[in-house]
Structure 1
Amino acid sequence: MSRAGELVELHARSLDLAAEVVDGLRPDQLELPSPCAGWTLRRLMEHIVGQHQGFAAAARGAGPDLALWADAPVGDDPAGAFRRTGAELTAAFREAAAAGRDVWLPEIQHGGPFPLAHAVGFHLLDTLVHGWDVAAALGVQAPFTAVVDGDEELAATLLAVAEAVPAAPENRVPGKAFAPRLEAGTAGGRFDRALALLGRDPVWKA
């Protein structure tokens, strides 16, 4: 199996872990605040599902069309929307790996094309970090973090991608995907270090 194919299967594991968190999100909790400044859980879930659809379209050969990346409504079934679009994304990534296809990602840097392995790595990071966002908003981030840290391959890949995210001041201003880096504590594992690299406070609470 190619490196891209291996990452696709690792990414599928990340989706499964995040889906288990989202399964615990009730409709009456969608207006709770999230670690994403100014975003409720509903806004976060709409972004996550929209990203699933955007990455899937890119993996199937769509060009740099930002309309394909629009946030998507989740109604009163955020878990169903997450799992449905996540399954579609996994299928699209597998198709792209089999075809050896590069992908366009209009929301990232110059837009592409990017090697598929890079695209999968980007979204693996998004999946786990946004999974943590949901878990933190629900107060269950510790078990989620522990499971990821206990998966050697997954934790190492997450941290490697987080370390590669540009950290220059112009890349970490309001409106960009990530806040300025924070100092990582000494007690946390690789997930906490990745969060700090992306400007997330590992001990955030609502």
Structure 2
Amino acid sequence: MHIDCSILPLHRTAVQKSVDIVNAVSRDDLGRPTPCAGWTLGDLLTHMTVQHHGFAAAARGNGADSRVWDAATVADAVAANPAAAYADSAADVLEAFSADGILDAPFAIPEFQPGVDFPGSMAIAAHFVDYVVHGWDVARTLGAPFELPNEVTAAALPIAFAVPDGETRTSDDAPFGPAVASNGATSDLDRMLAHLGRSPAWSAPA
């Protein structure tokens, strides 16, 4: 799939939207269940925060260092002030992705494949889709509305559908669960969510 520089402002919009949503999170919310099976909101925000820092490190040539992907390095900060910790990590990755030539830069991302460098365009595309979905995850956990510009979801949709379904999605470390029925959903976001294992109709249990 061809990814060009037009993805960068769309990626920025998706990440900034996630910051706006997380700004509403308080410490009292961290125990809430999320659409990510088995994860509380605290777990999800810790993951989102460390992934921003990890991708930022990868963009700067330091992604092979396992410490930059260690959730324990951000867990205390998220627990103490989730909105501030997340906003800081988002600023970190957006700054790193603004470097000249970033789409052609080599990214080491051990979670993808240890010892292999990926082109920046591929890494940023994956990060883009992840934060469209995770923004929805947080919003749905809070019972808040989630809207992105049509051009953002339209650009993310083909990238999401390039993620293969199958048995690999059932492993404990799979980034997405098996695809679910979209139940006639017609929006790009709902189709993307269903393909990546989320039910667009999910709501937090009472």
Which TM-score applies when normalising by structure 1? 0.88
Deviation at 1:104, TM superposition (A): 1.3
State the 1:76 CA deviation: 2.9
Residue aligning to 1:168: 166
* Match runs of 1:1-206 below 5 Å: 4-71=4-71, 72-73=74-75, 74-95=78-99, 97=101, 100-109=104-113, 112-140=116-144, 143-144=145-146, 147-148=147-148, 151-206=149-204
- How far does residue 44 in structure 1 lie from its aligned partner after superposition? 0.7
Separation in structure 2 between the aligned mates of residue 174 and residue 100 of structure 1, nearest angstrom: 31
The structural deviation recorded for 1:170 is 2.3
Computed over aligned residues only, the root mean square deviation of the Cα atoms, in angstroms, reads: 1.8
Distance across 2 between alignment mates of 1:187 and 1:130 = 19
Quote how far apart the aligned CAs of 1:4 are.
Answer: 4.6
List runs of 5+ in structure 1 lacking aligned partners: none
Aligned equivalents of 2:170 and 2:189: distance in 1? 20
Deviations 1:92-130 (A, max 9, x none): 111163584121111114663111111111111111111
Which SS does the other structure have where 1:67 is aligned?
Answer: helix
Once structures 1 and 2 are overlaid, which stretch shifts more, 19-28 or 101-110?
Answer: 101-110
SS of the counterpart of 2:52? helix
TM norm structure 2: 0.88
Which whole-Å CA distance do the structure 2 matches of 1:183 and 1:162 have between them? 15
Q: Among the aligned pairs, what percent are the same residue?
A: 38
In 1, the alpha carbon distance for the partners of 2:116 and 2:163 equals 16
1:67 and 1:100 map into 2 onto residues whose CA distance is 24
CA contact (8 A) 2:102 2:121 kept: no
Q: Give distance in 1, aligned partners of 2:60 and 2:192.
A: 29
1:96–1:116 Cα contact (<8 Å) kept: no
- The size of the alignment, in residue pairs, is 198
Task: Mark the CA change 1:9 to 1:35 in structure 2 (over 3 Å): closer, same or farther.
Answer: same
Moved over 2 A (4+): 3-6, 63-67, 96-100, 109-112, 170-175
TM-superposition CA deviations, 1:74-96 (whole Å, max 9, x none): 13321111111111111111116
Change (3 A) 1:111 1:205: farther
